[in-house]
Structure 1
Amino acid sequence: MTETPRRLLPMLGSTRGKRSAVTCALKCDNACSDAVCNTSTNTYFRDIVSSEFSRRSALGAGAAGALTLLVGMQTGAGSAQAAPPPGTGYRKSNLPFDAIAPVDASVDAMTVPQGYGWKPVIRWGDPLFANSPAFDAESQTAAAQALQFGYNCDYTDVLEIEGSKGRRAVLFANHEYTNETIMVPPTLPAADVRGIGKAAHGLSVVELERRNRNKPWSYVQGAPLNRRYLTTTPYEVTGPAAGSDLLKTKDDPAGRTILGTLGNCAGGTTPWGTILSGEENFNGYFVATGTSDGDRRYGLTNRPTARGWEIDEARWDTRNAGYENEKHRFGYIVEVDPFDPTSTPKKHTALGRFKHEGANVTVASDGRVVAYMGDDERFDYLYKFVSTNTVQPGTSAAARKANMTLLSEGSLYVARFQGDSVAEIDGSGRLPSDGAFDGVGEWLPLLVDNRSVVAGMTAEEVAVFTRLAADRMGATKMDRCEDVQPNPLTGRVYVACTNNTNRGVGSNAIADEANPRTLNRDGHVVELSEAGGNASGTRFTWNLLLVCGDPARSPATYFGGYPKDKVSPISCPDNVAFDSQGNLWISTDGQPGTVGYSDGLFKVGLEGAERGRVQQFLAVPRDAETCGPIIHDQEGTVFVAVQHPGEDGSWANQHSSFPDYVPSGSAPGKGQAALPRPSVVQVYRA
């Protein structure tokens, strides 16, 4: 293989109702154009209830107990939409704004509400260390990029440094993927292009400073906590697969140390102050035989990759002797300590291997920690992990060190949903006669205290081939579970299902009440309540908060009962966050291809008369996606990562000049910069 990544891009095909062809190729290796990975025939409850024999054959010895559990939930646990626990949240917002009008997808501008301003905190290529060179678009090198902020952030968080009186913080950001076509001059040698792209992956930790809580943040070059995590950074393996033969390679015969992290998407911040980041579309970085059950289930093929790293480094071609297991070493949740630049990050195999969108942690009533996770693939699953041990309170260095062991041992579950209006679900998205898409569900165990409960699979096999284990247990096929977060005020969990245009197509799974639309272009949001408020339990009730889309164009939309003519249209929900009042905030990924508007950030009310009210807060520039929302409403500040602005351009024909536009008074899109630079942006009350 001798072609550069840029020459592969013109060979791209089209996509079906979401992203551009460039994004699909570079971000997820054309997952939506390839055959569906999940071809399992695992049974749905709409089928299971047909006979006692099918119940027992589908679920094994525990079938009767599982059925009794669900019947008990329906008859004794109350309505699936039971009232939330009382709380003090949902007061008047600390971020009052008038919703902006939807922005046409062709506009190259950052649009915020009246009364708000914006500025970048840090941009791709900004120098991080005292010895980092300044960004020079025409003279990039891999060595320079390794000392600069990486490309295309997804998950972000800003954590105040204790004792700084609000004047210092650390910013964490991951770097999901790169687009070398618009990043680097076409005159550079192909090997240099690959090196720059590789160095722009990974993670970054950056110190921030400000004069007081009313001022915007700036990053600090050369600060002691600044750090880049590269493809050469060692990660410690924890959990049931640590030391397994499935992870051993010629470079790591012990199977306990992995170099680098790939395809990092969303994430989460733990109660003890560390950061979790999800390895998502790792398959696109490897060449494999593509013939095994594992390869097929994870979308691994024998095609040359778009970036061609296998040309320079043998481990990216897992057909090479000694590197057969390298593909098994990615697809995990990684944990880093942003306050200790000397610490070794971890890959937690107890949380399973799949296309992790992220992981968000809450503390259960018994002191154990619970992590919720989505697998971002059509017809894949929703997961939960419950630790064996209990949390040590606090965010001190000692607490962080102790609690970084919690995700190494525990129980891993996958979700199965049952609707209560099965006969009325016809794929149209029409609301059932009871006025809600709702029902009950069960967390099916895959690992219990790091021991396998899946027949025919060891614990290390469950940890490495989690999708295959979940197939065997009969989990519910979902429409791309992306970010999954518990509300810190109510404990209810919100699942962003982005879309699935293959729902009901051909032999693929038909619509069910948790995924009620055939050809689901716009996605939906699931609201889940753990039975009895016990996050570490195995039962839940659920309903759909939103069935997304533009209500002016599609009748198959639902906004929690709020009048459709009074909401902002929203499509392709991706990341979620909460403000201090318990309101839900949703960032989108794919609106240009579905409703014709730029992606944005939306506030959604969850209680009373405001439930289901969607208001658009901001819109990102041309070709861009909104990622990593952080809502510091008590300070009047919102952060987002603006990913892949100008994605469909080229070096000679850039589509965006974000964020370095000419100052106020100039037309949007006529910028000082020659190329777009993905950035973390803060929006603040002016």
Structure 2
Amino acid sequence: MPDSSRKFDLLPMLGHTKGKRSPVTCALKCDNACSGEVCNTSSNGYFRDIASAAVSRRTALGLGAAGALAVVLSGLGAPEKAAADGGPGLSAAAKAGFDKSKLKFAPIKPMDASVDAFTVPEGFAWRPIIRWGDPLFADSPAFDLGAQTAAAQARQFGYNNDYTDILPIPDSKDRRAVLFTNHEYTNENIMFPATLAAAEARAIGRAAHGLTVVELERKNKNKPWNYVQGASLNRRFLSDTTYELTGPAAGTDLVKTIDDPSGRAIKGTLGNCSGGTTPWGTILSGEENFNGYFVAPGTSAEDKRYGLTNKATARKWELDEPRFNTNNAGYANETNRFGWIVEVDPFDPTSTPKKHSALGRFKHEGANVIVADSGHVVAYMGDDERFDYLYKFVSKGKYMPGNSSEARRNNMGLLAEGDLYVAKFTGDSPAAEIDGSGALPSDGAFDGSGEWLPLVVGGASRVPGMSVPEVLVYTRLAADRVGPTKMDRCEDVQPSLETGKVYVVCTNNSDRGKPGKEGATEVNPRTLNRDGHIVEITETGDQTSTRFNWTLLMVCGDPAKNSSTYFSGFPADKVSPISCPDNVAFDSVGNMWIATDGAPSSIGYADGLFKVTLEGSDRGKVEQFLAVPRDAETCGPIVHDDERTVFVAVQHPGEEGTFEAQHSYFPDYVGAGSVPAKGKVRAPRPSVVQVYRTDA
């Protein structure tokens, strides 16, 4: 096999990307999605306008983050109502002031995208917790860049970490925890020398995908974390790890293959992007750009809607395993076994991870869970594709607080059965005022109302002509039939545990308004939207409601270069420029932290992590906390502001380089420079990084 199989010579996005986005990332991460036809060619019309109603915010219950998780794992009972003593829609902590966080910092200036540095505010330092190739088990070999093997990689930390969370181990007195991260994709072109055999490079690449759980330890909560090689909870989830398919699609003819006639046991997980942490202490991970791993007929409506084609894949795994070419006899359904939400129990290294069909199949960015007033579990999910949709799942069963065996058994089954909805947004401004320029309508805000359109309710399909398994396996086609709103790439979707409001991060859509494509709508108000925006949803009842109101929190970009920016009325000349929002997290008093992927497209700044105030006179204020190295993306933010500590996953540093001519040496910089000494071999290593305060 020629080495060009790893050099990705055909880059359809070359010359078409903007800012710091690499055409290599486009090829490897999402199979050049923006160079092809839009998968959603449906002609959804607008439903009737929904009368705007005053919002009477009933307090949401919620435990979707590690800080809240500690309460559950310690067995301290049910979560409290967040807004009980802070007024409608505002918790006591938030009402007291979003500036009460212990994590104080002076915002950094934007960094040029060509700089190979990890930049933090004055008074802070950074260090990697774990890097690509670090050994996980007692018998794992040390990382050897010049002599990697598939067997070694299977026992080491994987590549391109994305969603990340740190969960305290009960009764460890803040000194032990588990770290979870997923591994979205690989770039063999910078991982290995050109002399490495292509088949071996493919095998190592497969072993570098999947998921990792690893134990952490520290002396006390004021000291940085270190990972523990050989710890009992350490685990790698590989391409041959078995996942149990749950829910109504499990066992049906739509998911059976020659290797799995039961339709319930799936090998591996692919294209994992963001995720979420459940109130019962498990991790959710979203299978996103799985289509780029398969050769398929590509002619059916189902294949086209999911971006599947008959062309050779970038990594060519189809040469090694027949299941990656669904033209092969017995594998027609293999692609239907990916595109799900995965659930992992990080505290049981013998457990079987699950893929939940009840949450639908599409390009999941992730899923974030909150407990409604009714006790039902609600998961919010985005489909990360141009002009695709926002979804919500409501469990049939109810959450049981505590950490008893009965509660764990009950809660571990909550995502296997329930109702699935897709969102329809309606603006409240005249259509003529939404002209695609991003100019505010006359009422001074982009806002309106919406409804959750049913796909599956009470175990029955609400989509004419489709059974429940068909709705769940071909969720995109089912949604097309009920007429939801086409969005600008819904990435992370997270409810705030302080207010119960839900934040929908739309990263960008440069195709909006192009000939033959849908133009601006009030919830997606800019054509050629390269910088993205964030939608704020307030459910009209508890989280199980089928009605909501919405407003745009921000319309992103660099105000100095782009007049069509909006920050909820905060002065645009006093914000840090921000573009392409991706993953979000919340601190202990309700501030939102945004990780970016693509950086300000018009000026080429490095990606970073940004703090945003959500309430009060500073609502909409954006402050940049850190910047990641050359070609890298910021992922998986975790904010422990009570400990004055932040964590991020740094993905694809040095993406556009080659093994022989690297663009980055993150995180293993040497001395004052980044160029290795003569005769030394180094490469960028995607890592989970801890940023911590060093002064008083």
Please indicate the TM-score interval, normalised by the length of the shorter structure.
Answer: over 0.9
Q: Does structure 2 conserve the Cα–Cα contact (< 8 Å) formed by 1:657 and 1:673?
A: no
Q: Does structure 2 conserve the Cα–Cα contact (< 8 Å) formed by 1:4 and 1:308?
A: no
Q: What residue is the counterpart of 2:399 in the other structure? A: 391
- Secondary structure of the 1:32 match is helix
Q: What residue is the counterpart of 2:61 in the other structure? A: none
Superposed CA offset, 1:305-354 (max 9, x none)? 00000001000000001000000000000000000000000000000000
How many angstroms apart in 1 are the aligned matches of 2:543 and 2:262? Answer: 36
Q: What residue is the counterpart of 1:128 in the other structure? A: 136
Q: What residue is the counterpart of 1:608 in the other structure? A: 616
Letter in 2 for 1:7: K
After TM superposition, give the deviation of residue 395 of structure 1 in Å: 4.0
After TM superposition, give the deviation of residue 595 of structure 1 in Å: 3.0
How many angstroms apart in 1 are the aligned matches of 2:675 and 2:624? Answer: 22
Distance 1:440 1:592, change over 3 A: closer
- Secondary structure of the 2:8 match is helix
Q: What is the root-mean-square deviation in Å for CA atoms of aligned residues?
A: 1.6
Superposed CA offset, 1:104-135 (max 9, x none)? 00000000000000000000000000110000
After TM superposition, give the deviation of residue 668 of structure 1 in Å: 5.4
Distance 1:11 1:78, change over 3 A: closer
- The answer to whether the aligner puts 1:155 opposite 2:171 as a matched pair is no
- The answer to whether the aligner puts 1:531 opposite 2:531 as a matched pair is no
After TM superposition, give the deviation of residue 194 of structure 1 in Å: 0.3
Q: What residue is the counterpart of 1:6 in the other structure? A: 6
Q: What residue is the counterpart of 2:593 in the other structure? A: 585
How many angstroms apart in 2 are the aligned matches of 1:315 and 1:409? Answer: 28
Q: Does structure 2 conserve the Cα–Cα contact (< 8 Å) formed by 1:422 and 1:513?
A: no
- Secondary structure of the 1:529 match is strand
Unmatched 5+ residue regions in structure 2?
58-86
- Secondary structure of the 2:309 match is coil
Matches within 5 A, 1:268-667: 268-395=276-403, 399-423=407-431, 424-532=433-541, 534-591=542-599, 593-663=601-671, 666-667=672-673
- The answer to whether the aligner puts 1:21 opposite 2:26 as a matched pair is no
How many angstroms apart in 2 are the aligned matches of 1:83 and 1:368? Answer: 21
After TM superposition, give the deviation of residue 682 of structure 1 in Å: 0.3
Letter in 2 for 1:21: P
Distance 1:9 1:394, change over 3 A: farther
How many angstroms apart in 2 are the aligned matches of 1:292 and 1:197? Answer: 30
Q: Does structure 2 conserve the Cα–Cα contact (< 8 Å) formed by 1:514 and 1:544?
A: yes
TM-score by length of 2: 0.92
How many angstroms apart in 1 are the aligned matches of 2:55 and 2:690? Answer: 44
393-402 or 92-101, which moves further after superposition?
Answer: 393-402
- The answer to whether the aligner puts 1:33 opposite 2:42 as a matched pair is no
How many angstroms apart in 1 are the aligned matches of 2:17 and 2:214? Answer: 37
After TM superposition, give the deviation of residue 12 of structure 1 in Å: 4.4
TM-score by length of 1: 0.94
Letter in 2 for 1:524: H
How many angstroms apart in 2 are the aligned matches of 1:473 and 1:316? Answer: 32
Structure 1 vs Structure 2: percent identity of aligned residues?
68
Distance 1:323 1:6, change over 3 A: same
After TM superposition, give the deviation of residue 87 of structure 1 in Å: 2.7
Letter in 1 for 2:456: L
How many angstroms apart in 2 are the aligned matches of 1:234 and 1:2? Answer: 32
After TM superposition, give the deviation of residue 95 of structure 1 in Å: 0.6
Q: Does structure 2 conserve the Cα–Cα contact (< 8 Å) formed by 1:462 and 1:469?
A: yes
Unmatched 5+ residue regions in structure 1?
50-69
After TM superposition, give the deviation of residue 3 of structure 1 in Å: 6.0
The counterpart of 1:169, out of the listed 155, 162, 177, is: 177
Letter in 2 for 1:472: R
How many angstroms apart in 1 are the aligned matches of 2:531 and 2:601? Answer: 10
Superposed CA offset, 1:594-613 (max 9, x none)? 43100000000011111000
Q: Does structure 1 conserve the Cα–Cα contact (< 8 Å) formed by 2:664 and 2:674?
A: no
Superposed CA offset, 1:50-70 (max 9, x none)? xxxxxxxxxxxxxxxxxxxx3
Letter in 2 for 1:263: G
248-257 or 90-99, which moves further after superposition?
Answer: 90-99
Distance 1:384 1:391, change over 3 A: same
After TM superposition, give the deviation of residue 464 of structure 1 in Å: 0.3
- The answer to whether the aligner puts 1:84 opposite 2:94 as a matched pair is no
How many angstroms apart in 1 are the aligned matches of 2:477 and 2:429? Answer: 29
How many angstroms apart in 1 are the aligned matches of 2:600 and 2:6? Answer: 24
- Secondary structure of the 1:510 match is coil
- Secondary structure of the 1:9 match is coil
How many angstroms apart in 2 are the aligned matches of 1:636 and 1:13? Answer: 40
The counterpart of 2:151, out of the listed 123, 128, 143, is: 143
Distance 1:172 1:372, change over 3 A: same
After TM superposition, give the deviation of residue 185 of structure 1 in Å: 1.5
How many angstroms apart in 1 are the aligned matches of 2:384 and 2:414? Answer: 24
How many angstroms apart in 2 are the aligned matches of 1:127 and 1:75? Answer: 56
After TM superposition, give the deviation of residue 186 of structure 1 in Å: 1.3
How many angstroms apart in 1 are the aligned matches of 2:395 and 2:56? Answer: 28
Matches within 5 A, 1:204-223: 204-223=212-231
- The answer to whether the aligner puts 1:98 opposite 2:89 as a matched pair is no
Distance 1:397 1:112, change over 3 A: farther
- Secondary structure of the 1:8 match is coil
How many angstroms apart in 1 are the aligned matches of 2:219 and 2:615? Answer: 37
- Secondary structure of the 2:362 match is coil
| Count of paired positions | 657
Q: Does structure 2 conserve the Cα–Cα contact (< 8 Å) formed by 1:571 and 1:594?
A: no
Q: Does structure 2 conserve the Cα–Cα contact (< 8 Å) formed by 1:274 and 1:400?
A: no
Matches within 5 A, 1:187-206: 187-206=195-214
How many angstroms apart in 1 are the aligned matches of 2:207 and 2:410? Answer: 31
How many angstroms apart in 2 are the aligned matches of 1:618 and 1:395? Answer: 37
537-546 or 13-22, which moves further after superposition?
Answer: 13-22
Q: Does structure 2 conserve the Cα–Cα contact (< 8 Å) formed by 1:580 and 1:634?
A: yes
Superposed CA offset, 1:280-323 (max 9, x none)? 00000000000000000000000100000000100000000100
After TM superposition, give the deviation of residue 394 of structure 1 in Å: 2.3
- Secondary structure of the 2:92 match is coil
How many angstroms apart in 2 are the aligned matches of 1:539 and 1:401? Answer: 31
How many angstroms apart in 2 are the aligned matches of 1:427 and 1:78? Answer: 31
- Secondary structure of the 1:138 match is helix
After TM superposition, give the deviation of residue 8 of structure 1 in Å: 2.9
Q: Does structure 2 conserve the Cα–Cα contact (< 8 Å) formed by 1:17 and 1:501?
A: no
Q: Does structure 2 conserve the Cα–Cα contact (< 8 Å) formed by 1:275 and 1:337?
A: yes
How many angstroms apart in 2 are the aligned matches of 1:670 and 1:610? Answer: 45
Q: Does structure 2 conserve the Cα–Cα contact (< 8 Å) formed by 1:337 and 1:400?
A: no
Superposed CA offset, 1:157-204 (max 9, x none)? 000000000000000000000000000121111110000000000000
The counterpart of 1:250, out of the listed 249, 258, 272, is: 258
How many angstroms apart in 2 are the aligned matches of 1:591 and 1:646? Answer: 15
Distance 1:614 1:76, change over 3 A: closer
